[in-house]
Amino acid sequence: MGQREWAIVAIVAALLLGMMWYFFVTQPLQGRILELQAEVDRLTVERDRGRAAQRALPQLRETIARLDAERQ
């Protein structure tokens, strides 16, 4: 084979490797990124709910203490 044929083979091989990289590495990673973003969103909601409960805790403790005092 001549130099031109080897260059064509090298170009085709590089294109095939690039396509394989895209379909076997990049595409699955993009799907995983979407899953992780959904999990981060879910955990952010849980974190905000926990922080709201934490802020309400002193008032809840006061209410419990007041109700215990009234009951006694």
pLDDT at 72: 86
- Chain segment 18-72, per-residue pLDDT in tens: 999 999 999 999 999 999 999 999 999 999 999 999 999 999 999 999 999 998 8
Mean pLDDT of 9-25: 96
Cα–Cα distance for residue pair 32/41, rounded to 1 Å:
14
Q: What is the mean pLDDT of residues 1-18?
A: 96
Q: How far apart are CA 19 and CA 50, in angstroms?
A: 45
Instruction: Say whether pLDDT at 1 is over 90.
Output: no
Count Cα neighbours of 61 within 13 Å in the Cβ-side half-sphere: 6
Residues 30-45: pLDDT tens digits? 999 999 999 999 999 9
